[in-house]
Amino acid sequence: MLMTSQKYKQTRSCASCGYEATRFLDELTAAFEETREWKKPCSQCGSQDFIGESNAIPPLSRAQLEIWSINDKLHFLEQDEDLILAIPSQLELLLEFLDSPKTQISKRRILASALYVLWYDAYPKTGGEYSRNTAFAEKVASIINQRTDMFVKLGSEESANPLWYIEDYLKKAFEKYNS
């Protein structure tokens, strides 16, 4: 019988013999790209080529952020991680890890960038039809403005442009909003 903690389903089809395999992962294994990687060859033919891989991804949690925030080898997604993390209902949790000196600088930059994404999506002039929320945009804008010094510190060691880690389109839109 499966343990109850292993509830995140993963499936893949062998490109060579067509065998469809399924397995279940626990939350902390399923959450990160590196740990959910399915490396074993096909159990039927030994092929390493697969098609149609699917992963059930757990909702963001404190337990995941606790591991991710101190480990630079773990990613929710290798690219655009800030977009993945920009979940309005998780704002308080994101702030907690952004503000914590225990969180690695590279991860704090991603969390800072996620704040800009949250603002951008909620701000009526830049957000999509379904994400617009003026009150939330104002709240996030104020949170960003309170942290200007921190954001500069997070980036200033590596570049003359201290906010290099925030995408230009986000930075420009926010500057325009603030002016």
Binding residues (CB under 5 A) for Zn ion: these are 14, 16-17, 19, 42, 44-45, 47
Our measurement of the distance from residue 168's CA atom to the centroid of its chain's CA atoms, rounded to an integer in Å, reads 19
State the nearest-atom distance from the C-beta of 46 to Zn ion, in Å.
7
Q: Residue 46 or 124: which CB sits closer to Zn ion?
A: 46
The nearest distance, CB 50 to Zn ion, in angstroms, is 9
Count CA atoms closer than 13 A to 14's CA, side-chain side.
Answer: 15
Q: Which is nearer to Zn ion, 21 or 95 (CB)?
A: 21
Nearest distance from residue 108's CB to Zn ion, in Å?
43
- Would you say 42 or 110 has its CB closer to Zn ion? 42
3-state secondary structure of 11: strand
* Phi and psi torsions of 9, nearest 5°: -85, 140
Q: Which residues of 29-65 are buried (b: 16+ CB within 10 A; e: fewer)?
A: bbbbeeebeeeeebeeeeeeebeeeebeebebeeebb
Q: How far is the CB of 29 from Zn ion (least distance, A)?
A: 23
Other beta carbons within 10 angstroms of residue 131's beta carbon come to 17
- Minimum CB distance to Zn ion, residue 49 (Å): 8
Phi and psi (nearest 5°) for 34?
A: -70, -35
Q: Which of residues 43 and 89 has its CB atom nearest to Zn ion in the complex?
A: 43
Q: Which is nearer to Zn ion, 6 or 11 (CB)?
A: 11
